[in-house]
Amino acid sequence: MRKSIVLRCVLTCLFFLSSLSLLSIPAGAEQAAAANGRNPIVLVHGIGGAGFNFASIERALINEGYSRSDLYAIDFLDKSGNNITNSRQLSSYIDDVLRKTGASQVDIIAHSMGGANTLYYINNLGGGKNIGKVITLGSPNRLVARSAPTGIAYTSIYSTSDLIVNNALSPLNGANNIRIFGVTHIGLLIDRGVQSHIMNALK
Catalytic annotation, residues: 112, 162, 185
CA separation for the pair 78, 81 (Å, rounded):
7
The amino acid present at 40, given as its one-letter code, is P
DSSP bridge partners of 106 = 131
The amino acid present at 143, given as its one-letter code, is L
Residues sharing a CB contact under 8 Å with residue 34, sequence separation 6 or more, in sequence order: 40, 101, 102, 103, 104
CB 144 within 8 A of CB 170: no
